[in-house]
Structure 1
Amino acid sequence: MIQSQINRNIRLDLADAILLSKAKKDLTFAEIADGTGLAEAFVTAALLGQQALPADAARLVGAKLELDEDAILLLQMIPLRGCIDDRVPTDPTMYRFYEMLQVYGTTLKALVHEKFGDGIISAINFKLDVKKVADPEGGERAVITLDGKYLPTKPF
């Protein structure tokens, strides 16, 4: 039976335990996600308390991380989503995404509306991918793909 959480603290505590186990076992998120049939980003979001895993995936991930049955069950529960408190993020990486939205948010909104019309890009019917690529000018670049279904506003 599908279960839902009403408090995010239990999943955040589990995320801390998962990250500790991941570090002790020297695993990557890709290695943990391998064999689940799910995207690395989706499994990572679940491990960090933002998504629910199907039972088979939760058991596989749980075995890799040596999680107990309660933890495996928690991974299957629909979480109370949202990890950023009602303030500007202070973590430098998360702040840069906030900054990107501050600078380019209105541009994204204008371009989405111009190309699609009035509506939103779904964060539910959504895919996320992060790739590391060589920068022709030296160093490395992050290529982040946000792939969400467009949902038009419907007059009523």
Structure 2
Amino acid sequence: MHPLTKNEAGAIVRAARIRAGLTWAELATELDAAPVWTTAALLGQHPLSTKQARRAAELLELDENVVTALQDQPYRGSDPATAADPTIYRFHEAISVYGPALKELIHEEFGDGIMSAINFSIDVARRPDPDGDRVVVTFDGKFLDYRW
């Protein structure tokens, strides 16, 4: 049995999800977790519980190698090649342009500190607009103040 990496398992999950005809949102419901977290976990950015990994395996007809990999602790972050994807690049672009302003506004509102990406949730929604539907991404992170 060759141990799979989280990325290898994620690629298997992506293909299995399409074969099974399931959406990421349906998988999230089945795993009793938020859609963005579930999608990230199934792609290798978070460990699934044993119960979640086994349920994913049932739904997607995954073998034990994938079940094991889904439970492994990940090395978080993405492959630098991923940053070239147009959708992901737009997030880098938005943070490049608006990051300094967001930092200033966070410091003005909360003081010296940061937004946690650990005590954190994220959501993606669609908002109809006459000029074309809008993508609404909400980051919701706990404020962590710098302390001495």
Same fold at TM > 0.5: yes
Q: Which runs of 5+ in 2 are unaligned?
A: none
Q: Is the contact between residue 82 and residue 88 of structure 2 (CA under 8 Å) also seen in structure 1?
A: no
1:1-156 equivalences under 5 Å are 10-85=5-80, 89-135=83-129, 137-155=130-148
What is the number of residues matched between the two proteins?
145
- Of 104-113 and 54-63, more deviation after overlay is shown by 54-63
Q: TM-score, normalised by structure 1?
A: 0.87
Identity %: 43
TM-superposed CA distance for 1:130, in Å, is 0.2
2:145 aligned partner, one-letter code: P
For residues 82 and 77 of structure 2, what CA distance do their matches in structure 1 show?
Answer: 13
- Deviation, structure 1 residue 88: 8.6
**Cα shift readout 1:60-114 (whole Å, capped 9, x = no counterpart):** 11211111122112111210111132x7921100110011011100011001111
Q: 1:26 to 1:35 in 2, by over 3 A?
A: closer
How large is the RMSD of aligned CA atoms in angstroms?
Answer: 1.5
TM-score (norm 2): 0.92
SS across alignment from 2:88: helix
Residue segments in structure 1 that go unaligned for 5+ positions in a row: 1-8
- Say whether the 8 Å CA contact 1:33–1:61 is kept in structure 2: no
